[in-house]
Amino acid sequence: MLKVPVFPDSAPMPPSPSAQALHPAGKRTGRADPDSARCLMCKVREYNLCSSIEDHDVTVLAQATRQISLPPGTAVIEEGTPASAFFNVINGTVKLFKSLPDGRRQITGFADAGQFVGLSNSRTYSFGAETVSTVLLCRCTHTQIENLLAEYPGFARHLLSAVTHELADAQEQMLLLGRKTAKEKVASFLLDRIKQYHRTHPHDPDAETTASVPMTRVDIADYLGLTIETVSRTISTLRRDKIISGTENHCIRILSLPNLQDIAYGLKSI
């Protein structure tokens, strides 16, 4: 049978306390140790990949991963370097991007709390990743991911589901980049940010009308395939048209969600 590793030939990693063989599948620890408590109490555990590993096996996870905190603007993954690690975002936002030799850049997505970063099929990363805000990450080597995949069938299925979802998002973004106008692009982006805010603040009564935009105009422009000037002008227009309200730059309030939706999908001729 053809071998098709998801993480082929992971580059050798510097030895770390947590870089040890996983427990055999199904082995139970009598009770939670301090490490597994970290995973059990993790605020994104129920939303992300880790939910595939049941509570009583969580020691495996805790020993396979290490948490790191990074300030805004820090490189997490360097485009073209050996692909060796995988990251879960616990808190904050990470941007993923690809670049051209002359420096032009396309941000392919933002990974918020609960999402992951660093899946690669090839020996090197085909994309870069950098923190947008202060970010808490859970790091795991590809070798350890391979072990989890081999021991927990549910994990492979969960990962497949997550990647399939990402692919659908990527296709939606291709539609945006190839066929939408600047105004439609910005409106679509704001809708995504509202959804994201709603996911992470389900109990905020204003969640329906709030968009958290932690990224700069440069990042928004590189995400939407525009220039910062066009992004700025378009947001100003939306403010002038009373579709959004103009208090702050990084927390936008939506005055007319239906109008914004119509614009995003090209139903508003204006």
Partner DNA sequence: CGTTTATTTGACCCTTGTCAAGAGTAGTGG
Partner DNA sequence: CCACTACTCTTGACAAGGGTCAAATAAACG
Residues that bind DNA (CB under 7 A): 181-183, 216-218, 225-233, 235-236, 249-250
Partner from a copy of itself, DNA, none contacting 41, C-beta within 5 to 8 A by type: none
Q: How far is the CB of 32 from DNA (least distance, A)?
A: 38
Nearest to 14 by CA among 143, 124, 100: 143
Q: How far is the CB of 62 from a copy of itself (least distance, A)?
A: 17
Partner from a copy of itself, DNA, none contacting 52, C-beta within 5 to 8 A by type: a copy of itself
Q: How far is the CB of 179 from a copy of itself (least distance, A)?
A: 4
C-alpha to C-alpha distance for 10 and 142, rounded to whole angstroms: 6
Q: How far is the CB of 105 from DNA (least distance, A)?
A: 12
C-alpha to C-alpha distance for 53 and 50, rounded to whole angstroms: 6
Judged by CB under 8 A, the stretch of 61-69, 129-137, 176-184, 194-202 that binds a copy of itself is 176-184
Closest CB to DNA among residues 136, 235 = 235
Q: How far is the CB of 168 from a copy of itself (least distance, A)?
A: 5
Q: Are 106 and 33 in contact (CB under 8 A)?
A: no
Closest CB to DNA among residues 68, 177 = 177
Sheet of 65-70, strands arranged across = 65-70, 135-141, 85-91, 116-117
Q: How far is the CB of 252 from DNA (least distance, A)?
A: 10
C-alpha to C-alpha distance for 187 and 212, rounded to whole angstroms: 14
Which are the contacts of 95, defined by CB distance < 8 A and separation ≥ 6?
Answer: 107, 109, 110, 111, 129, 130, 131, 132, 215, 219, 223
- Give the H or E element holding residue 189: helix 182-200
Sheet of 244-245, strands arranged across = 210-212, 251-254, 244-245
95: which 2 tokens? Answer: 């941007």
Q: Which of 21, 75, 160, 251 binds a copy of itself (CB under 8 A)?
A: 160
Chain residues that interact with a copy of itself, rule: CB under 8 A: 1-2, 4-6, 46, 51-52, 54, 96, 98-102, 104-106, 108, 119-122, 126-127, 149, 153-154, 156-161, 163-168, 170-175, 177-180, 222, 224-225, 265-267
